[in-house]
Amino acid sequence: MYGADWCGDCRRTKAQLDALGVAYLYLDVEHDDALRDEAIAIAGRQSIPVVVLPDGSHLVEPSNPDLEARLTELGIIA
C-alpha cells in the first residue's frame, strides 16, 4: 500500500486492513520521491492510497466495501 500519514483515506485503508488481519507493506510516498513516482505510475494519477494486490491488480482510493470485496474475490479474506 502506497500512502502518506497525513492522508485520511490512507489511515482509513490501513485501519481496515489491520482490522481484517491482512498483512501488507506500507510504502510512505511523502518521504520518498521514488515511491511517490511508483505510486503515480501504477495509479496513472496523483492519488493515494494505492493498494497493489497479490495478483498484480491495484485499487486507487478504494472505499471500504470495494477493498473488502476485492480481498474476498482473491481469497485473502473469507
Which domains are present in the chain? Answer: 2-73 (3.40.30.10)
CA dihedral (54, 60, 61, 64) in degrees, to 10, reads -40
DSSP secondary structure letters along 14-59: HHHHHHHT-----EESSS-HHHHHHHHHHHSSS-S-EEE-TTS-EE
Question: Model's pTM, two decimal places?
Answer: 0.94
pLDDT tens for 17-54 read 999 999 999 999 999 999 999 999 999 999 999 999 99
pLDDT category of residue 1 using cuts at 50, 70 and 90: very high
